[in-house]
């Protein structure tokens, strides 16, 4: 079973307690009414589908019920790190450090 | 049954059929249903915690996953801003007054969920094994010590788990899931007892 570290509980917990919640760090446009349909559709539906290091949201639904962000390698399915909501995207240097 | 304290008609199983299961107590472990309790879901802003503690005399645990047990009253901290209070009926009115005062003073959410949950006690030296048949957490004493609590899953049902003593766990579940959960408990108690007594080989 995959263990995921919840940054709020500060514990490694079984995957079954979590729910995936899509790509992270997608900023909602401040004024959607001024956007055309293409731009709005892009915001809603178009995602990177990265191969390799991916920034994503997870939801500890059967735990502390908090959303948090994670960095996961989509090739090996390994979680590199998790961090609290609202924190900036970790820099590549930071990720490389954790990987070692 | 009519609750003298709250004036509410309530049966212990709160409208779900649990009988005739949960009769399978063995000498090494068992599960029983807890009597009617008062339960509150509490949400406070993290910055208000100290003030809430002072104003209410509630023993709100400081860390996520910790609980306080005082008399017949449990307070579990489930998340950064979420607590679950479980108390026996004798404190129902006092709690109601406490929370009326609190909600006038603080921005918070206080919801009476007494009838949403049912509580079970899983006890006996086999308690850990009974829970581990459906719960993926490591329940050994050094990882999950007495007083630790968390929301988790048991056979895909969401439960709230609290270790009250080395061989005693408190399990809270939404009442509509209770028949499902108690059947799994029943199976698990029987199986574990049989394995322990050598009547069945686990492998």
Instruction: Return the CATH number at A36.
Output: 3.30.2270.10
Q: How many domains does chain B have?
A: 2
Query: Do B121 and B146 share a structural domain?
Result: yes
User: Which residues of chain B approach chain A closer than 8 Å at the C-beta?
Assistant: 64-65, 78-80, 82, 136-137, 150-153, 156, 158
Q: Looking at B113, B146, B164, which one is the last position of a domain?
A: B113
**Closest in B64, B65, B152 to A62, CB measured:** B152
Task: Check CB contact under 8 Å for B152 and A17.
Answer: yes
The ipTM of this complex is 0.85
Q: pLDDT higher for B3 or A71?
A: A71
Task: Check CB contact under 8 Å for A62 and B78.
Answer: no
Beta bridge partners of B173: B118, B159
Instruction: Determine whether A52 is exposed, middle or buried from the number of CB atoms within 10 Å of its CB (0-12, 13-18, 19+).
Output: exposed
How far apart CA B124 and CA B132 sit, in angstroms, is 14
Q: Looking at B83, B113, B143, which one is the last position of a domain?
A: B113
Q: To the nearest 10°, the Cα dihedral for B31, B41, A15, B135?
A: 0
Residues 6+ apart with CB under 8 A from B157: B134, B173, B177, B180, B181
Task: Check CB contact under 8 Å for B153 and A62.
Answer: yes
Q: Looking at B113, B131, B165, which one is the last position of a domain?
A: B113
Nearest chain A CA: its distance from B27 CA (Å): 31
Copy the structure tokens of residue A55: 């920034």
Kindly report, residue by residue over B155-189, the tens digit of the pLDDT: 999 999 999 999 999 999 998 898 888 888 888 88
* Cβ-contact B79, B64 below 8 angstroms: yes
Residue B35, pLDDT above cutoff 90: no
């Amino acid at each position: 079973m995959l263990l995921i570290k919840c940054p709020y509980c500060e514990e490694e917990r079984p995957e079954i307690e979590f729910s995936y919640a899509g790509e992270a760090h997608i900023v909602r446009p401040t004024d959607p009414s001024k956007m055309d349909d293409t731009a709005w559709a892009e915001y809603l539906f178009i995602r990177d589908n990265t191969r390799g290091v991916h920034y994503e949201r997870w939801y500890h639904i059967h735990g502390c019920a908090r959303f948090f962000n994670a960095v996961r390698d989509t090739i090996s399915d390994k979680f590199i790190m998790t961090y609290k909501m609202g924190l900036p995207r970790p820099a590549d240097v930071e990720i490389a450090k954790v990987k070692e | 049954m009519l609750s003298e304290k709250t004036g509410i008609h309530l049966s212990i199983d709160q409208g779900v059929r649990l009988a005739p299961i949960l009769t399978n107590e063995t000498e090494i472990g068992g599960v029983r249903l807890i009597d009617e309790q008062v339960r509150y879901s509490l949400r406070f802003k993290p910055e208000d915690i100290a003030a809430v503690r002072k104003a209410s005399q509630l023993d709100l645990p400081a860390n996520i996953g910790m609980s306080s047990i005082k008399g017949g009253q449990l307070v579990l901290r489930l998340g950064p801003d979420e607590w679950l209070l479980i108390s026996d009926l004798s404190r129902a009115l006092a709690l109601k007054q406490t929370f009326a005062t609190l909600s006038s003073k603080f921005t918070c959410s206080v919801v009476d969920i007494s009838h949403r949950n049912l509580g079970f006690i899983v006890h006996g030296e086999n308690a850990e094994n009974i829970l581990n048949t459906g719960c993926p957490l490591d329940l050994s004493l050094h990882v999950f010590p007495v007083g630790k609590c968390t929301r988790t899953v048991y056979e895909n049902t969401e439960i709230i788990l609290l270790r009250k003593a080395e061989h005693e766990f408190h399990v809270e579940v939404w009442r509509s899931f209770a028949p499902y959960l108690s059947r799994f408990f029943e199976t698990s108690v029987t199986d574990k007892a049989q394995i322990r007594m050598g009547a069945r080989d686990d492998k």
